[in-house]
Amino acid sequence: MCSASTYDSALETLLLPFASGRLQWPKAGALFLRARSGAALQRHALPGLVCEQSFRPDAEALERAGFSVRADSTDSAESYPLVLVLTPRQRDESRALMARALASTRPGGIVVASASNNEGARSAEADFAQLAGSVDSMVKNKCRVFWTSPLQGAPNPALAAQWLALDAVRPIAGGSFMSRPGIFAWDRIDPASQLLADHLPADLHGAAADLGAGFGFMTDRLLERCPKIASVDLYEAEGRALDVARTNLAAFSGRATLEFKWHDVTTGLPRRYDVIITNPPFHTQNRVDRPDIGRRFIAVASASLNPGGSLWMVANRHLPYEEVLADHFARVRKVAEKDGFKIIEAVKGHGR
């Protein structure tokens, strides 16, 4: 989770043109797409800044820092004299975000974007120039920041429309599910999740939770295999994924009670369950390994299960989760191991 004191190299570099005097902050404010909190935002006076962030931990960090935050405004017609962008790694999502930035810019306004080198900064700048025309740039902190001249609409409207459509929700897996770029394993069924789905026992019952639910694949499989599951709460930090999950699971609305919760699992859950399923994340959005996230998912699952309730999880075989599982559960067993993944069932004791 970010905080105001966190050093974020891409964010620092994004604001470099303003700190150096090459650009001036507009009095009418700015829109910040895929915004993140960090020391750089606190260091500069940024009146009128509106932040957009659909990833719950980053959105909460921005709110704690006192910024105005919204989850998504794809359909908004509001425009700004300045639009800031931290471009994501996934290229279709990045291109669509650039097109959105241009569409959200007032006549005479500019777009400023930044990315770290290990997140494809050079490719992002080249894409940006293709869409927006010639750009100025600066390089620092192993990152690049690049910005447009004052714009009078998209220089290439046809390309802008084409790239804007890259973020559209679309069918995957032979039409079995809907998804969109930027979601984890967005264009396929994740093999680890599929392995867990294949090993869920049919007699699971009661109230269930899916931690890190993504676009809803695991909940779909759980409800298909386990007719005695009465309800599922889907917890997902990425709001873009949760919106798609609602579509994917609409057919089950009369079969079980479904709740879709935009929530950071690491902060804990508000209620208890009989069953929890999870394919916990083990890295941050910028691909830095974070096995502590998975360990926290396990601890939260234990605290949120009824006595005798079970956790079913899948993880990369090399991840060291056994010790934390043993600390939190009365019984732990490895159900299967295949293709570098392991399936684990953990049962909560009645005395815990």
User: Is the fold of 9-167 the same as that of 170-347?
Assistant: yes
CA 232, 238, 240 angle in degrees (round to 5)? 95
Terminus-to-terminus CA distance in the chain, angstroms? Answer: 29
Q: What is the pLDDT along the chain (352 residues), one digit of tens a residue?
A: 333 346 799 999 999 999 999 999 999 999 999 999 999 998 888 999 999 999 999 999 999 999 999 887 666 678 999 999 999 999 999 999 999 999 999 999 999 999 999 999 999 999 999 999 999 999 999 999 999 999 998 899 999 999 999 999 999 999 999 999 989 999 999 999 999 999 999 999 999 999 999 999 999 999 999 999 999 999 999 999 999 999 999 999 999 999 999 999 999 999 999 999 999 987 555 555 677 899 999 999 999 999 999 999 999 998 889 999 999 999 999 999 999 999 999 999 986 5
Domain chopping of the chain, boundaries: 9-167, 170-347
Q: What is the largest CA-CA distance in the chain?
A: 67
Measured distance CA(95)–CA(87) in Å, rounded? 8
CATH number, domain 9-167? 3.40.50.150
pLDDT of residue 287: 53
Going edge to edge, which strands form the sheet with 105-116? 68-70, 49-52, 30-33, 80-86, 105-116, 143-148, 135-140
Amino acid letter, residue 139:
V
Q: Domain 170-347 classified CATH 3.40.50.150?
A: yes
For the entire predicted model, the pTM comes to 0.92
H/E run at residue 212? none
